[in-house]
Amino acid sequence: MDVVDKLDILSRDAQYDLSCACGTKAKEEHRTRGSGGSWIYPVTVASGGSGIMLKTLLSNACTSDCRYCPLREESDTRRTSLTPDEIASFFINFLSHKPIIGIFLSSGIIGSAEYTMDRLIASAEILRYRYHYRGYIHIKIIPGASIEAINRAMQLASAVSLNIETPGINHFSKLTHKKDYMKDIIEPLKYISQMSQKGSPFQKVHTTSQFIVGASDESDKEILSYSYNMYDHLKFDRLYFSAYQGGLGDPTIPGEIKKREIDQLPFSLSHTSKEDYVITREHRLYQADFLFRQYNFSYDDLVFGKEGNLDLSKDPKEVWATKHQEFFPVSLKKGSKEELLRVPGIGPLTAQKIVNMRKNTPLSDIYQLNLPRSLYSKAKKYIIL
C-alpha cells in the first residue's frame, strides 16, 4: 500500500482514541472526513479556541490484549504501519494545502512500549528538526513507557496523554491481563503530573487522559472520584470519556454483558432510549467534568443515584439545584459570581456578564441582560432581581 492507503486505514482506526477529539459545542465535536483519505478532528485547544487536527496511528498492529479494543492482538483486522518518515512528510505536505492546528500521534503497541515510543518520538523529531515545524504536536504515551521515553516525548510535544482507562485496578483487571495498572498506568500518570507542574521542566506541556466508559461495570461515582482527584491532586489539564458502545470487544467483558441485558429490556428511561443510553451517560460525565473545571463544583457536590450513577434525565447541575432549594433564589443584583454559577442555565460567560453589567448599570429588569429565552426559562425559578 502507498502512504495514502495506509493512512485511510490508520486514521479511521484512530477514532477509538478520543483524547483530543471533543469540544464544548456541538459543531466542534463531530469528526469530519478529510481529503487524501485522512480524518481531521475538531478540537478545543488549551487557550479555549478551536481548530482541526490531523490524527492517525503509526500502526494498528498491537501486541496488547485490551479486551474492549477492536485492535487488540487477537482481533481479525487489516494491519498496516507507517514509518516516522512517511507520517512526517505526509503531514507537512497536508499542512501546505490545508490550515490545521497540529497532529496527534498515537499507535498500537508494536512489540513493546519502548519500541513504539521510539517510533512516535522519531516522528516528532523529524517534524521538529528536519522540517522545523513549530506547531502543535500531541504524543500519546504508551502504557509501560520508560521515564526516558516520557521525558523525550515531553521535550518535543505540545501535549501528551496517557489513558487511565478505568477507575481502579479492579475494573482494569477485567479488561486486560498484560498490562500492570500501577506500574504501566498510575506511576507514569503521576510522573507526567510531576514534570508538568509549575516550575517543572515541562510546565507548558498540556496533559490529558481518558476513561473508557462502560467496558467494565464501573459506576459514574467511581469515574468522577478519580477524575476529581486527577484535577485536584495531579493537576491534569483535561480528561475525556469515551463511551464503550459494544459489539467490538470480547463478549465476556462486563460491557458486552450489559449491552445484551439492555438490548433485552423494554427500556423506560424517560429521556433516553436503548440506542443512545451509552452516549447520554458519556454526556452526563462531560457535564459533571465541566462543573469541576468551570463552575467550582467539588466531587462532594455531585448527586448520585443508589447505584452510584448520575441522573440520565437531567444535567447534574440541575439535579444539585433541585436537592439544595435552601440555596435559592439567588439575587441578580447582589449574588456573587460563584453564587450565580450555581443557577441552572447560567454559565461562566453569563455570570461574568451580569457582574460586569451591574457595576455600571442599575438592574431594574431581567430583560436588560438580553439572556436567551431558553436560558431564562431554565433559570427563572432560581433567581430574583
* Residue range 3-29, pLDDT digits in tens: 877 777 777 666 665 444 433 343 434
| Average of per-residue pLDDT values in the chain | 85
Q: Under a CB-based contact definition with an 8 Å cutoff, are residues 216 and 248 in contact?
A: no
* pLDDT for residue 48: 47
- Domain co-membership, 245 together with 379: no
226 pLDDT higher than 90? yes
- Domain co-membership, 316 together with 357: no
Nearest to 109 by CA among 89, 81, 68, 90: 81
What is the β-pairing status of strands 32-33 and 136-140?
A: unpaired
- Domain co-membership, 239 together with 360: no
Q: How far is residue 123's CA from residue 103's CA, in Å, rounded to a whole number?
A: 11
* pLDDT for residue 45: 45
Nearest to 332 by CA among 382, 271, 275, 262: 382
- Domain co-membership, 133 together with 271: yes
- Domain co-membership, 348 together with 300: no
- Domain co-membership, 316 together with 362: no
Q: Which amino acid is at 246?
A: G
Last residue of a domain, which of 304, 321, 338? 321
Q: Copy the grid coordinates of residue 21.
A: 477529539
Q: How far is residue 310's CA from residue 306's CA, in Å, rounded to a whole number?
A: 10
Lowest mean pLDDT among 3-7, 19-23, 192-196, 287-291: 19-23
Residue 262 main-chain phi, psi, to 5 deg = -65, -40
Lowest mean pLDDT among 27-31, 64-68, 154-158, 351-355: 27-31
- Domain co-membership, 221 together with 344: no
Nearest to 141 by CA among 215, 193, 178, 86: 193
- Find the CATH number of the domain harbouring 10: 3.20.20.70
> How many domains in the chain?
2
Q: Under a CB-based contact definition with an 8 Å cutoff, are residues 296 and 338 in contact?
A: yes
- Find the CATH number of the domain harbouring 375: 1.10.150.320
Last residue of a domain, which of 321, 339, 369? 321
- Domain co-membership, 291 together with 356: no
- Domain co-membership, 135 together with 223: yes
- Domain co-membership, 363 together with 306: no
42 pLDDT tier (thresholds 50, 70, 90): low
Distance of CA 160 to the CA centre of its chain: 13
DSSP per-residue letters across 103-120:
EEEE----SSHHHHHHHH
- Domain co-membership, 204 together with 291: yes
Is 228 exposed, middle or buried, given 0-12, 13-18 or 19+ CB atoms closer than 10 A?
buried
Q: How far is residue 287's CA from residue 225's CA, in Å, rounded to a whole number?
A: 14
Last residue of a domain, which of 303, 321, 339? 321
- Domain co-membership, 234 together with 354: no
Q: Please state the pTM of the whole predicted model.
A: 0.87
Range of the domain at 264: 3-321
* pLDDT for residue 362: 79
